[in-house]
Amino acid sequence: MSSSKPPYPPHARRAPPGGRLLSRAPSNAARAGKAAPAGVRHGLARVLSKAGVCSRTEAARRVLDGRVSVDGKVVRDPEFPVITGRQQVLLDGLPLAAPRRLYLALNKPRGLVTTVQDEQGRDTVYQCFEGAGLPWMAPVGRLDKASEGLLFFSNDPEWAARLTEPSTGPLKTYRVQVDAVPGAAVLERMQAGIDDEGERLAAHSVQLLRHGERTAWLEVVLDEGRNRHIRRLLKALGLEVLRLMRVAIGPVQLGELGKGQWRELSQAELNALQAASKTAHVSVSD
């Protein structure tokens, strides 16, 4: 499929050693998502996004630019209703050939923002994929600029939605360094939860891993991630975060993956993520 815009921002830099070019041959992991059933009506921009062509924001731009046609007629309305499987949608005169589904794990370094393009010109996580020849990918969830660790990417919107939905997503495990040694009462408060800016913030579980005279490392597990969840929770209890690293999403571990490096999730990991979800899903098949 032709496109006048690259899948990653033009200011991205080359990935650190360890990033690799994925084979174009189909793999088991490529089939974990399900296509939308025929006959379902969606807005045109969403149709492009669900096909894994680009983000919905970028899809809307392409529609407005007159690059998309439906049944032979150029449509410039991103919300134009399209019946899946019954109408022909072309981008730049070509059918929407769905790319193979990809599921990646990245060890996000500190200092990068989790966005495709940053209005302030800051470095983004996409610099880690520069030069790899990947199709459009979206982050599955987020880590803030000062945080690091395991972050998933995929071009499968339905799979991503299941992982980020609190009712279906897996638990997420973090290692957190704080500027004091919290007592048992503070750890209990973290699990009991606090109210902050109209939101309830709590840890699914927390334990003290080790400590020195002035700092400590905690293991914090979340079952629902709100914006700056752990930082806000700890600040409300009088603790400042010195370092925050996500080390696991469900059963998938960060392991020895180097900073800025990425790898494709295995079929076994996809199956394990599915099994770890809080509700049953259609099984991943070959």
For 51-75, how does the pLDDT look when each residue is reduced to its tens digit (9 = 90+)? 777 778 888 999 999 999 999 999 9
Count H helices and E strands in the chain, helices first.
6, 17
Would the pLDDT of 83 be above 80? Answer: yes
Backbone φ/ψ region at 253: left (φ over 0), alpha (ψ -120 to 50), beta = beta
CB–CB of 145/112 below 8 Å? Answer: yes
Amino acid at 240: E
- Residue 24 confidence (pLDDT): 36
Q: What is the mean pLDDT of residues 138-165?
A: 93
Would the pLDDT of 233 be above 90? Answer: yes
Residues in contact with 136: Cβ distance below 8 Å, sequence separation at least 6, in sequence order = 7, 52, 53, 54, 55, 58, 99, 155
| Residue 267 DSSP symbol | H
Q: What is the mean pLDDT of residues 2-26?
A: 39
CB–CB of 104/153 below 8 Å? Answer: yes
Residues in contact with 52: Cβ distance below 8 Å, sequence separation at least 6, in sequence order = 98, 99, 101, 135, 136, 155, 156, 157
Which of the pair, 231 or 8, is modelled with greater confidence?
Answer: 231
CB–CB of 153/139 below 8 Å? Answer: yes
Min mean pLDDT across 10-14, 82-86, 188-192, 245-249 is at 10-14
Q: What is the mean pLDDT of residues 178-199?
A: 94
Write the pLDDT tens digit of every residue in 212-223: 999 999 999 999
Q: What is the mean pLDDT of residues 254-262?
A: 96
Which of the pair, 37 or 98, is modelled with greater confidence?
Answer: 98
Q: What is the mean pLDDT of residues 1-19?
A: 39
pTM: 0.71
Confidence of residue 278 (pLDDT cuts 50, 70, 90): low
Q: For residues 191 and 220, give the distance between their C-alpha atoms in angstroms, rounded to a whole number.
A: 10
- Residue 256 confidence (pLDDT): 95
Write the pLDDT tens digit of every residue in 94-145: 888 767 889 999 999 999 999 877 888 899 999 999 989 888 889 999 999 9
- Residue 33 confidence (pLDDT): 40
Q: For residues 57 and 78, give the distance between their C-alpha atoms in angstroms, rounded to a whole number.
A: 10
Asked about 77 being catalytic, the answer comes back as no
Strands 194-196 vs 199-201: parallel, antiparallel or unpaired = antiparallel
CB–CB of 51/85 below 8 Å? Answer: no
Catalytic member of 144, 179, 196, 286:
144
Q: What angle do CA 30, 35, 39 make, to 5 degrees?
A: 170
Indicate the length of the chain as a whole number.
Answer: 286
